[in-house]
Structure 1
Amino acid sequence: MSQHFAARLRDRQLLGGTFIKTPQSHHAEIAGLAGLDFVVFDSEHAPFSAAQLDHCLLGARAAGIASLVRLRQSSPSDVLQALDMGATGVLVPHVTSARQAREIVASARYRDGLRGFSNSPRAGAYGGHSMLQHIERSDSETAVLCQIEDREAVEAIDEIAGVAGIDCLFIGRADLSVSYRLFDVDHPEVERAIQRVASAGRSACVPVGMFVADTAAMARYAALGVTLFVIGSDQSLLRSGFSKLSQSVAELRSQIQ
């Protein structure tokens, strides 16, 4: 049996996925059929209702692809809802302190945590898993990713990285550049912040992930120890594909007119 997503993440296997910003299941199904390792349903920046998120998570499960949910906020209720719906894990935005990270981990775990128990939702096979089976499976297979995207988080990164139960430090370059008031993701100071987070991850033996707009920068950041990449989004991939299609049509039009 192949490793589950959280085990592959913790083993620092190179993993590639994309953001899903369209609240329909089809794009996640296509991503799974195409062989991506995971998708991230972006409920922070896209209009997912609870019902739409539930449907999308079902679509991801049907396609056999790991599914993360980027939450709107780090509240225990948001964490619980995503995990009960069957999400493989949560990507929590704007984690700025070790205390906040500990609270997030506690919300996602049963043993040594505070996650409210129910085996009746999808995550517990609608009651098909016993209490102990559900607890053991959930605690071992749930991935907790903390998004590092604030100057305050970078300054506290060693303490955050030291929190037991964090499965990934996920770097958000865009928000980092805004937090530093630089408004340039390629600014040297942003790059130094990225390197500092990557170094803290290596020292604490915590995997590091990040968002990249396309595949061009992956090798550079993989050399720093980044092993999980969220590459673009369903919307950016559609825009790129449609733009190339439009360009091809325009070129043909110019040739025959």
Structure 2
Amino acid sequence: MTDATPTFRQRLRERQPLVGTFFKTPSHQLVEVLAGAGLDFIVIDAEHAPFDRAALDPCLLAARAAGLPALVRVAGVDGPEIQGALDLGATGIVAPHARNAATVRRIGAAVRYRGGVRGFSNSPRAGGYGATGMAEHIACSDRDSVAVCQIEDREAVEAIEAIAGMDEADCLFIGRADLAVSYGVDDVGDPAVKEAVRTVCAAARSRGKAVGIHIGHMREAQAYLDMGVSLFVVGSDQSLLRAAAAGLRFPASA
């Protein structure tokens, strides 16, 4: 990558509009297909889909080979999960349930070497299997690795002013479904969820922080763009496949 080419982290922090999808099927071929479709990124879902480290490995290899930024949504904020994804060559991580400033600080520390707690090794893919020197690997990883923090709890919304001001998070990702559960409702369109979304967007906008959200269709994007959202995760590989397959019907006869 040349100095003139912005990294995914730079594009994210500059709040450029970015469109990707959740990736839930352990198949490196599907990663290549999505890369050819021109997406800005994918989020490999190791929280809700069957991705252990062995399943992540070929998918991250395919993404790296195709030049497709790949974030990994980890199942928790423990250091080993985050470190494992980054060592395999993930562009960054999406961490669930960033409920408060302390959790965001913990996530940020797990992503970084300097000032953090990430265990060092340049022997995995991220370090060129040992070809990248220690100083270069630390500098490049700390500069380019992305930390996205999911705001999906009422507690996080109540602490959003503090969370939005933290540099450890490159982006705040709104999880409307979990917010609905946290607020005791069963509809992401509930007024309580809508108000929580507005609160998060307003706090992020005031701090110049990138905001992301999951939507079902691109037709929903404009309303969130107007609120300051710049990162869009649209459906998933499975929903895209299902929608395309559902359209394979003969037209109804007149």
The yes-or-no answer on 1:110 pairing with 2:113 is yes
Equivalent residue in structure 2 for 1:218, among 221, 224, 234: 221
Equivalent residue in structure 1 for 2:192, among 189, 203, 206: 189
- Give the whole-Å Cα distance in 2 for the aligned partners of 1:44 and 1:114: 22
Equivalent residue in structure 2 for 1:140, among 138, 143, 165: 143
Q: In structure 2, what is the equivalent of residue 123 of structure 1?
A: 126
- Give the whole-Å Cα distance in 2 for the aligned partners of 1:178 and 1:122: 38
TM-score (norm 2): 0.96
Counterpart secondary structure, 2:230 = strand
Q: In structure 2, what is the equivalent of residue 242 of structure 1?
A: 245
- Any idea what the Cα deviations from partners look like across 1:173-210, whole Å, max 9, x if unmatched? 11111111111111121111001101111122210001
Percent of matched pairs sharing the same residue: 51
- Give the whole-Å Cα distance in 2 for the aligned partners of 1:161 and 1:198: 9
| 1:4 Cα deviation from its structure 2 partner | 1.2
- Give the whole-Å Cα distance in 1 for the aligned partners of 2:122 and 2:203: 36
- Give the whole-Å Cα distance in 2 for the aligned partners of 1:182 and 1:12: 31
- Any idea what the Cα deviations from partners look like across 1:139-166, whole Å, max 9, x if unmatched? 1110000000111110111111222221
Stretches of structure 2 lacking an aligned partner (at least 5 in a row): none
- Any idea what the Cα deviations from partners look like across 1:114-153, whole Å, max 9, x if unmatched? 1111111000111111111001100111000000011111
| 1:59 Cα deviation from its structure 2 partner | 0.8
Counterpart of 1:17 in structure 2: which amino acid? G
| 1:49 Cα deviation from its structure 2 partner | 2.1
Equivalent residues of 2:107, 2:168 under 8 A apart: no
- Give the whole-Å Cα distance in 1 for the aligned partners of 2:67 and 2:46: 21
- Give the whole-Å Cα distance in 1 for the aligned partners of 2:7 and 2:131: 20
Q: In structure 2, what is the equivalent of residue 91 of structure 1?
A: 94
The yes-or-no answer on 1:31 pairing with 2:34 is yes
Counterpart secondary structure, 1:226 = coil
- Give the whole-Å Cα distance in 2 for the aligned partners of 1:196 and 1:92: 20
Counterpart of 2:184 in structure 1: which amino acid? R
| 1:63 Cα deviation from its structure 2 partner | 1.2
| 1:91 Cα deviation from its structure 2 partner | 0.2
Counterpart secondary structure, 1:45 = coil
- Give the whole-Å Cα distance in 2 for the aligned partners of 1:168 and 1:184: 24
- Give the whole-Å Cα distance in 2 for the aligned partners of 1:151 and 1:85: 33
The yes-or-no answer on 1:82 pairing with 2:88 is no
- Give the whole-Å Cα distance in 2 for the aligned partners of 1:5 and 1:11: 10
Q: In structure 1, what is the equivalent of residue 156 of structure 2?
A: 153
| 1:28 Cα deviation from its structure 2 partner | 1.5
| 1:53 Cα deviation from its structure 2 partner | 0.5
Counterpart secondary structure, 2:214 = strand
The yes-or-no answer on 1:40 pairing with 2:43 is yes
Q: How much is the aligned-residue C-alpha RMSD, in angstroms?
A: 1.1
Equivalent residues of 2:73, 2:95 under 8 A apart: yes
- Give the whole-Å Cα distance in 2 for the aligned partners of 1:155 and 1:149: 11
Higher helix fraction: Structure 1 or Structure 2?
1
Stretches of structure 1 lacking an aligned partner (at least 5 in a row): none
Larger deviation, residues 177-186 vs 14-23: 177-186
- Give the whole-Å Cα distance in 1 for the aligned partners of 2:141 and 2:50: 27
Counterpart of 1:198 in structure 2: which amino acid? C
- Any idea what the Cα deviations from partners look like across 1:64-84, whole Å, max 9, x if unmatched? 100000001110010100000
Q: Number of residues paired by the alignment?
A: 251
